[in-house]
Each structure stands twice: as structure tokens, then as C-alpha cells.
Amino acid sequence: MVKIGNIELGEFPLLLAPMEDVSDPPFRAVCKDNGADLMYTEFISSEGLIRDAIKSRQKLDIFPYERPVGIQIFGGDEEPMAMAAQIVETTNPDLLDINFGCPVKKVVCKGAGAGILKDIPKMVKLTAAVVKATRLPVTVKTRLGWDDNTRNIEEVAERLQDVGIQALTIHGRTRTQLYKGHADWTLIGKVKNNPRIKIPIFGNGDICTPEQTIAAREKFGVDGVMIGRAAIGYPWIFREIKHFMKTGEHLPPPTVLERVEVCKKHLRQSVSWKGDIVGILEMRRHYANYLKGLPHIKEFRQQLVTYKTLAEIEDVLDAIVSQYKDHIFERTSPPLAEQNFLPADNEMAGCNVYV
């Protein structure tokens, strides 16, 4: 049983990654329906929380159906991060996560996210301040290091454990890689198998298929995996992995009707949470992924990103079901590479692999 503090997550939990502009409550709802064991909010600026910024405060919204759920914060200064931790605690999440992995320039230039990987002593002091400021279990998500010359995640893991974090998620890339190339799970495995490490270690990076999940567990010994991009428009990835790990067999892919029904739920919850205008606008980024693999879908997709009312959009989705009701999705999973999870010629090959 994998545990973070008193939170029991099962034998090999599947975590939904915190993704900016993606991991909001409507998206988390459909992922939870399909088997995500632990989910996180989009990352929240510590400075924004202290200033009472509307967008930052809205990201604190969590709902009973999501539990266990963690709120993730980022920042580059001890006092604001400690104050933000205290604000987060009042909303009663199950845990608090610190983002030390975001590679985006506007975050990094403030010494936050992956930017703090240039200053490990500061990273440790900031983490200690957050741990001290809250009664919540504190976890961290980070990367292997700043660049190939500073892949110091083994040292980082030990030092963060020593100041009180209760789990660590490692994305298998450096900051300079951004999301390019392949995630290197070798160092993730070294951290997990370090006899000094007693906390759960979760691996993140390029997990797109059940086979890759099993490889992560068997080859590198991680306590669970965190899934990000592969879940966008395809929340079934969680149930498919769980079924395969239990039975050794693949579930059939979701039908067109299943895809549309989940898309509708996502849309309705987006409108309910954000309001008609914003809910409909922000949902537009998801349609292409929900409809991936359907031939000649361009006209329908154009309507979905043009229409402005819930009724119009649902009519289009119903028309898609009618048009494609006999379409059969076929699995085209790629073979696993020897050292990498994915074939070298395509970073995202195998993600949502149905055509």
C-alpha cells in the first residue's frame, strides 16, 4: 500500500499531473471517473494567493468527488510560500505540493518552478519553510536538474526528504530539455532504489500506454506513475492501464458514443464552474483530442470551436455520434524502445494510440 502521510493510494497509484490551463475541476472530474488515484490542481502562484488574485483563488476550488486531491503552489521566496501554504490549508485539501519543475520562462526567471534547480540550498530552505508552515503532508514535483551538467536529483531527493516532504514526483527531463527529447527514467530508478529514500517516489514523463506503465514499475521500481499529456482528451488512459495491469489484456477503446458523452460532461462542468462564455471558450482546446482518430472530422471540429452556446455545441456532438456510430477505433501501440519508452523518431508516439 502506497501512502502519503495517512492517505492510502493503493498498491501502484496513477496520478494525474498538474497541468496549467488543463487540470481544472471539470477535467479532473472525468479523469477521476476513469480511475485517477490522486489528482492535483493547476499550479498556483504564492504571490497571487497573497494578493488575493481572482484567478489564483479560483484554482483553490476542490470538490468532494476529487479526493484525494492536492493543491500545488509555486514561488521563489520563503515568506510568500509559507503564507500561501497557510492559505491553502484553510481550503482543506488532502496534501500540498510544491512545483519545482515548471520550465516556462516567465516562472523560471523569478527563481520559481524549475528555476530553483540552479540553487539547491535555496530549494531546501524554501521547502523546509513550507513544511513548517502547514499541517498538511507536503510533496514536491521536480526535474532531474537544470541541465545535463547538473542532474543532481539524487542529492535533491535526500535533502528534501530530510526536511520533511512525504513524497516526490520526478519528471525525467532537465529544465533545458523542456518537453523535448525523451524522459530519462534511469535516474528516477536510482532515486527510488537509494536505501536512504523512504518516501514514495513517483515517475513522470512519456507514459502513454499500459505497457510503459508496467515497464516503469518493473524496470525502475517506482511507487506509481504520474500521467499528464496522454490524459488530455483521453481520460480512459487510467482505466486502461489498471485493467491491463490486473489482467494482462487491453480494454477495447472507447466508442464514439463514450467519447462524446464524456466530452459533454466535461463541457457541462466547464460551463457550470466557469460560466457560459469562459467555459465554452476554454473547452475548445479539448475537442481535437476527444475526436482524435475520426476521419474527415475537420468540419465538425470547426463548428465546435465556432459555436457559442451549449445547445449548439451539444447538437454538433450528437451529429458526430450519428455520423460515426459505426466507426471502429484500432489500436496501433508502438513497440517499446530498449532504453526509452518511446521510439526515437516521435516524442509523443503511442499517446492515445487509436485511429
Q: Which of 45-54, 180-189, 232-241 has the highest mean pLDDT?
A: 232-241
| In the predicted structure, residue 283 carries a pLDDT above the cut 70 | yes
CA distance 140 to 119: 16
pLDDT bin (cut points 50, 70, 90) of residue 344 is very low
Predicted local confidence at residue 49, as pLDDT: 87
**Cβ proximity of 185 and 219 under 8 Å:** yes
CA distance 73 to 129: 13
Tell me the sheet residues that pair with 14. 225
Rounded average pLDDT over 100-119: 86
Under 8 Å between Cβ of 134 and 86 = yes
- Does residue 86 or residue 20 have the better pLDDT? 86
Q: SS3 letters for 7-37?
A: EECCCCCEEECCCCCCCCHHHHHHHHHCCCC
Q: Environment class of residue 320 by beta-carbon count within 10 Å: exposed (0-12), middle (13-18) or buried (19+)?
A: buried
Whether pLDDT at 52 is above 50: yes
The predicted pLDDT at position 333 comes to: 53
Whole-angstrom Cα distance, residue 179 to residue 335? 21
> How many Cβ atoms from other residues are within 10 Å of residue 93's Cβ?
22
Compute the average pLDDT of residues 91-103: 92
pLDDT at position 347 over 60: no
Q: How far apart are CA 52 and CA 178, in angstroms?
A: 30
pLDDT at 349: 38
Mean pLDDT of 209-221: 94
pLDDT attached to residue 332: 59
Averaged pLDDT, 226-230 = 93
Asked if the domains 2-247 and 256-324 are classified in one and the same CATH topology, the answer is no
**Mean pLDDT lowest for which of 47-56, 228-237, 328-337?**
328-337
Q: What are phi and psi of 251, to 5 degrees?
A: -70, 150
The answer to whether the annotation marks 286 as part of a ligand binding site is no
164-178, 294-308, 322-336: least confidently modelled range? 322-336
Domain residue spans of the chain: 2-247, 256-324
The average pLDDT across 299-324 equals: 96
Catalytic site positions: 102
Q: Count Cβ neighbours within 10 Å for each residue of 129-157 and write b for 16 or more, e otherwise.
A: bbbebbebbbbbbbbbbbeeeebebbebb
In CATH terms, 256-324 corresponds, of 1.10.3470, 3.40.50, 1.10.260, 1.10.1200, to 1.10.1200
Q: How far apart are CA 94 and CA 63, in angstroms?
A: 11
Average pLDDT rounded to a whole number, residues 199-209: 94
- 171 has which bridge partners? 143, 204
What pLDDT is attached to residue 269? 95
Check pLDDT > 90 for residue 147.
Answer: no
User: Is 229 a known ligand-binding residue?
Assistant: yes
SS3 for 199-267, per residue?
CCEEEECCCCCHHHHHHHHHHHCCCEEEECHHHCCCCCHHHHHHHHHHHCCCCCCCCHHHHHHHHHHHH
What percent of the chain shows pLDDT beyond 90? 74
Segment 27-41, tens digit of pLDDT: 999 999 999 999 999
Q: Do the annotations mark residue 350 as ligand-binding?
A: no
| Residue 61 pLDDT exceeds 70 | yes
Q: Using pLDDT thresholds of 50, 70 and 90, give the confidence band for residue 106.
A: confident
Q: How far apart are CA 76 and CA 115, in angstroms?
A: 8
Q: Which CATH number fits domain 2-247: 3.40.980.20, 3.20.20.70, 2.70.150.10, 3.30.70.250?
A: 3.20.20.70
Residue 143 annotated as lining a ligand binding site: no
58 is in an annotated binding site: no
Global pTM? 0.89
pLDDT at 342 over 60: no
